Amino acid sequence: MNKINTSTTSIVFSILSLSCSSVENIDPPKTMDVSADSIAYFIADSIADSTGIQLARRRATLTISTSALNIAAKQANTASFNISSNTRWTVKNDQPWLTVSKATGSKNAEITLTAAPNTLKAPRSAVITVSGYYTTDQKVTITQAAATNASPYTLSTPIVYEGKKDMTISYLEITNPRGHCIKLVNCSNITIQYCKLGPSKGEGVFLYKCTNITVRDCSMEYVESGVVADVGSAIKVLYNDIKNVQGPMPRGQLVQFGNVNGAGSSISYNVGENILGQSHPEDAISLYKSNGTAGSPIQVVGNKIRGGGPSGSGGGIMSGDMGGSYVLVKDNILVNPGQYGLTVASGHDITITNNKIYSQKLPFSNIGLSAYKQYNIPTYNITISNNAVNFTNNKGVLNNMWNAKNCGTVTGWSTNRHDSNVTASVLPTVMLGGALQRASASKK
């Protein structure tokens, strides 16, 4: 018994001495070798647990510089935070798309996080947990932004519907080397929205004998024409981006109405760009034998159009092509639109007002604004007013406007003016992309 007491006392003093030693850099306790019997070992371990380990816990510190970080969606983007500590620590990550620069360490350190690109259409998050010996876990929440270039569209084969009604076609990407991207025949109450159409041999959207069709917020490129409505009513083409129509004549329009009659039709707030050498446009917007009503004229409002040619006959906005009536052409901006800017070719109750038209000298440029009855169709009640024009013809001469005086009295003609401030800069260098942005935003 005395031997046991002597040994136990020696062990106790040894442990007490250890517990009072410096803990500036605290490591986890190591297993103690004890040569005494099991009773002595139990006593020593209990004393160590109640003294040295408790002191270590009181002295251990671990803090991090932030609890939240944001990281961009792009490839190999990084963010970092700092660890301040006097003990050993580990860093754990709960997401495979995020890597950490150091998984273990001690004392102070900077941790760099590297994220794989986010191809999702929504943000994603990860949680980093920093654990230290005898300290409370610290957490950092990482939020990575949604991909800004993720496509909102789903690939689809071309669509041909006949006799359909009451439906929406959305978020489709369609090409067609043999025909139209979307063709509707005898359809009604259909909305086509947030689609990407083209390249195609035919139209982006072709409508025949349709009623109450809306085409909006679509992107179209390298199509024969953007939207063609042949015989119909209440057709609305709104907020679309259309680039590089291919034609050839008689196609090559951003939008064409042919025999669209009645209330509720509009071609408004579209953006169209035809790059010379990449496109073969005719009229950017064409109204052929189309008639609104006195209370609801066909609206051609707020469109932005750049680029025309090399056609010697095509140009900007053609109203009254082979007749037509009750049309309002207002607040459009046209830059280098082709052979002409805006014109009335025949018909009645047509108003062209408050538009801006510019063209530099081009091989095909001719006239900015005109009232010229081209067909043997009664033409009257024409208003052309408050338009600003700066149009140079192919001879390098200003040729802003022409009233052929065969359309009856043109109301407001004297209010149209040359404006040298109307230049190419009235349209931004980059115009297209809004339809894609709206499609992406609406799908989140």
Structure confidence at residue 116 as a pLDDT band (50, 70, 90): confident
CA distances from 230 to 145, 185, 222, 287 (A): 45, 10, 21, 11
Give the per-residue pLDDT at 73: 80
* Both structure tokens of 201: 């041999």
pLDDT (tens digit, 9 = 90+) per residue, 71-88? 888 766 889 999 999 999
Residue type, 289: K
Give the per-residue pLDDT at 75: 64
Give the per-residue pLDDT at 145: 85
Give the per-residue pLDDT at 122: 76
Is the confidence at residue 217, as pLDDT, over 70? yes
Kindly provide the residue ranges of all beta strands, DSSP E only, lying in 217-338, ordered along the sequence: 219-221, 227-238, 241-243, 255-260, 266-268, 271-273, 285-291, 298-301, 304-306, 317-330, 333-335
Is the confidence at residue 14, as pLDDT, over 60? no
Give the per-residue pLDDT at 121: 66
CA distances from 105 to 85, 171, 267, 345 (A): 10, 49, 65, 81
CA distances from 362 to 194, 244, 292, 296, 418 (A): 35, 18, 34, 37, 19
Highest mean predicted confidence (pLDDT) among 15-29, 81-95, 318-332: 318-332
pLDDT (tens digit, 9 = 90+) per residue, 131-145? 998 899 999 999 988
Average predicted confidence (pLDDT) for the chain: 88
Q: What is the DSSP string of 51-119?
A: HHHHHHHHH--EEES-SEEEE-SSTTEEEEEEEEESBEEEEEES-TTEEES-SEEESSEEEEEEE----
Residue type, 315: G
Measured between alpha carbons, how far apart are the two ends of the chain, in Å? 79
Q: Please check whether residue 347 is in contact with residue 380, taking contact to mean a CB–CB distance below 8 angstroms.
A: no
Is the confidence at residue 103, as pLDDT, over 70? yes
Give the per-residue pLDDT at 2: 41
Structure confidence at residue 56 as a pLDDT band (50, 70, 90): low
Residue 205 and residue 224: Cα distance in Å, rounded?
Answer: 10
Q: Tell me the average pLDDT across 262-281.
A: 97
Report the share of the chain in percent with pLDDT over 90: 76
- Does this model's pTM top 0.75? My answer is no
Residue 193 and residue 322: Cα distance in Å, rounded?
Answer: 31
**β-strand partners of 142:** 69, 126
Is the confidence at residue 50, as pLDDT, over 70? no
Is the confidence at residue 36, as pLDDT, over 70? no
Give the per-residue pLDDT at 20: 37
The torsion angles phi and psi of 9, rounded to 5 degrees, stand at -60, -40
